[in-house]
Structure 1
Amino acid sequence: MRVPIRFLRRSITSHMQQKGDIAVIFDFNRTIYDPDTGAMLSGAREVLDALRTRSVPLYLVSKADESRPQLLEEMGVKDFFAESFFVERKDPTLFFEILKRAGVHPKQMYVVGDHLHKEIRCGNQCGMRTIWLKRGKFSDLEPAMEADHPWQTVSDMSEVFGLIE
């Protein structure tokens, strides 16, 4: 049985207090890692380091690929994330689960990703603050629905840290 998104959002937010804590969900491909070059995106490590220094819980959401955990290890960022989720399809139910685990209010959860129709849409449907990294392969995407409009848009990963309060 599928539960309506509105019900999930009300259910989760009614159990949370307005705390000062924040948390961040990061997409992997083309947000942290560039699969075309096989390297981290410029500015990604610095943003992750800065958030880690502030003790901000970080979560990773990535398409399922058996090489991902090893790749995170090789990049030296596996331990930066409180949890990593490798999924076939990104959907709001997963984002609500992460919100629940983080124990923060939706407006205190930031979602950083490069795809309007995936992570930005899911984050918005959950009432989170979404940051679209508008660069590369999906930079020409247009919103297909209201939930595809990001809270903020950046063209470089280094701009993300300044948006997260």
Structure 2
Amino acid sequence: MTTPAPTPAHAAALLRHFTDLRDGTHGDAVSRKDKERLFADAIPLLDPYARQALAEVNTSLLLGQGDVAASGLRTTNDSSEALWVLTWAEQRASGIAPIVLHAYYGAGFHHPHLRGGTVGDWPLNVFTDDQAAAELPTLRAIVSADLHNLVFQRDFRIIPAMTKGAASS
């Protein structure tokens, strides 16, 4: 009898999401207040990985010319969010939006989500540092897709590595 392969981290995250939908929970929380507390706890767990995903693009594609900013947790009466944003000169000059990682728990939502500036929603079910670390590939994918969509809004010249770096030859 063979041992089943371990569940990949991205599949485990989806299973947490589907379990929450099935059970009407978010992690172990049932009430909106408790779900908001878990979301607030997830932001500092996610922060280093969101910054890493943006820093990787900044280093490799923007040649270190970008600036990463993070909002930290922001709340209103009915929602909570955190933003990580990567801006750079060519993006600002072209008048397009920056690359954004957006964690949010909107009014009327069952649980929090991740999204990019131009990329749709992804479930956010992070309760431990290991789970936050496992989101790094998803964060990288959102950042990459966001940058890809921004290039389509203008063109490849918003990427310094394409105009000033090794890729320009």
Bigger Rg, which one:
2
- Asked if Structure 1 and Structure 2 have the same fold, meaning a TM-score greater than 0.5 normalized by the shorter chain, the answer is no
Q: Scaled by the length of structure 1, what TM-score is found?
A: 0.29
Judging by fraction of residues, say which structure has more helix: 2
Q: Scaled by the length of structure 2, what TM-score is found?
A: 0.29
Judging by fraction of residues, say which structure has more strand: 1
